[in-house]
Chain A
Amino acid sequence: MELNVCWFVVLGALLAGYAVLDGFDLGAGIVYLGFKKEEDRRTVLNAIGPLWDGNEVWLITFGGALFAAFPQAYATAFSAYYTAFMLLLFALIFRGVSLEFRGKRPEPAWRGFWDVAFSVSSALATFLFGVAVGGLIRGLPIGPDKEYAGTFWDLLGFYPIVVGLLAVALFALHGALFLHLKSSGDMEARLRRWIGRLFDFFAALYVLATLATLVKIPSAIAHFHSMPVVMLVAAAITAAVVAIPWLVSRGRAAAAFLASSLVTAALVFLFGFAIYPNLLLSSLNPAWSLTLRNAASSHKTLGLMGAVALIGMPFVIAYTIVIYRVFRGKVDKDKLAY
């Protein structure tokens, strides 16, 4: 396989890894304010506490790999999404510190402030990710000079907002399934009820987003005609989606969480498949798009990075497995650290 294509696939894998991993802790943040009891809130924080920052490393790696492999696309995208990125950074900053600061003082006002900061920033970050993905599928006003020619408002619109809401629904469901796996007693039972409602919310948006894609973005569908095998992925997603409430009702919490992980990863795959070989599709003229060829680094750089990635990845995978093994099982209410 050509190096440029390899790096497109690696970026897709990093994004999928990020969505699956950080997706559940962002989602835990989205549903967080639904818990009213202090003990339940602390259980949420302790469920994701040891894991969330490791998960966010995938986002940083994705940004770094995009910068090194496709610098032109990185530059244009980060400039186009400049203000949105600042919002994302502020959200991620507040999310990180609220986890740390919340437990430092006992006053309800103090804790309440960081609780709201944690939940709102989780939802905002997720929504912004979704809007960005929607914008990339729909295309951005990119001129012949490979520069973004629009404004902040051109990043919005019906389709990106639908995808943004889909991301919020997906992560909320994914996060609730994770917490369902990690909690016990009352909290577990409450989560089971929530999962039913979150599932309906997600299913409705999933159908809406699919219809919107079919109607508004015919180019994204064109690929499916040339490679009908990918229809199987779409079918697998639907099967996994349908399986989630069934698995939850039978008490198979781990399998249900695995199913939502699969759905998340497969949606990222479909996103990559829909935009390939473009990284940034120009809505003004398809010929002005930034592709995995005209936006790439030199062959030498891509090769060098490939060697580094092959050496580094086993370590990342190894420590990820170790951490998830150490913190497996239900949250122990006698050993809350957050």
Chain B
Amino acid sequence: MGVAHNQPAKLAAFEAHYKSDAGPSPMWVFGWPDDKNETMKMGVSVPGGLSFLVHHDFKTPVPGLDQFPRQDRPPVAASYFFFRLMVGLGFAQLFLLILVGFCDWRGALERFPWLLRAMVVSVVGPFIANEAGWIAAEVGRQPWTVYGLLRTSDSLSKSVAAGQVLGSIIGFGLVYLFLFIVWVYVLGDKIRRGPDTSGMES
């Protein structure tokens, strides 16, 4: 895994891996990261799961967040949840696809209208997964802009005022919101009209 090698603190945050182990590192399946006490609440884990993902065996330990000075650790909860959201959506899409593929292969797809509805809803899945993965990658790299070399607090432009940055964020927000609404409107219009079959007959 590239992350384990290049940005070990990010991996530890993705997995809410607070404490380094002497032996195999587990992987959380469920759980609520508690930064204050540096533990997982209600955690359910696969023993040696993280060791397997990183080192392809169930023995070698993976460094936890306690290996990094407190000021070099990313916010754990956000990294953990957004990473899980991305991975979860990915697997959910895959599962849905296999299920739909199977039903279609058996010729039974039309007997399960909820599956078709799920397919319609699943259109937004990749968008959310994409954004969630992006947020996980950016939050997980904190407090660095360039991992281990340049801190985010050191990479600010001196001559750009906070108000300018806020203004640009609001501006982008408004522009993208407007374009999103237009896009949904145009897309909805296109879907209602159905596929253009005029060029497909020959």
A and B held together in a complex: yes
8 Å CB contacts to B: which residues of A115-174? 145, 147-149
Whether A5 sits at the interface, judged by CB under 8 Å, is no
- Are B186 and A82 in contact, with the CB atoms below 8 A? no
B180 → A minimal CB distance (Å): 11
Known: A86-B168, A101-B182. A79 touches B159 (CB 8 A): yes
Report, as a range, how many residues of chain A touch the other chain: 10 to 19
8 Å CB contacts to A: which residues of B64-80? none
Whether A35 sits at the interface, judged by CB under 8 Å, is no
Known: A104-B186, A148-B159. A83 touches B179 (CB 8 A): no
| Chain B contact residues: helix, strand, loop or mixed | helix
Report, as a range, how many residues of chain B touch the other chain: 10 to 19
Bound-complex Cα distance A94 to B158 (A): 30
Whether B120 sits at the interface, judged by CB under 8 Å, is no
- Are A105 and B189 in contact, with the CB atoms below 8 A? yes
- Are A101 and B157 in contact, with the CB atoms below 8 A? no
Q: Pick the residue among A83, A90, A104 that contacts B189 (CB under 8 A).
A: A104
Whether B164 sits at the interface, judged by CB under 8 Å, is yes
A214 → B minimal CB distance (Å): 31
Whether B47 sits at the interface, judged by CB under 8 Å, is no
Whether B43 sits at the interface, judged by CB under 8 Å, is no
Whether A75 sits at the interface, judged by CB under 8 Å, is yes
Residues of B within 8 A of A (CB): 157-160, 164, 167-168, 171-172, 175, 179, 182, 186, 189-190
Given A86-B172, A94-B175, A147-B158, 18 extra CB contacts under 8 A: A75-B157, A76-B159, A79-B157, A79-B158, A79-B159, A82-B157, A82-B159, A82-B160, A82-B164, A83-B168, A86-B168, A86-B171, A90-B171, A97-B179, A97-B182, A104-B190, A105-B189, A147-B159
Q: Would you mind naming 11 contact pairs between A and B with Cβ atoms under 8 Å apart?
A: A79-B157, A82-B157, A82-B160, A83-B164, A83-B168, A94-B175, A97-B179, A104-B189, A104-B190, A145-B158, A149-B159
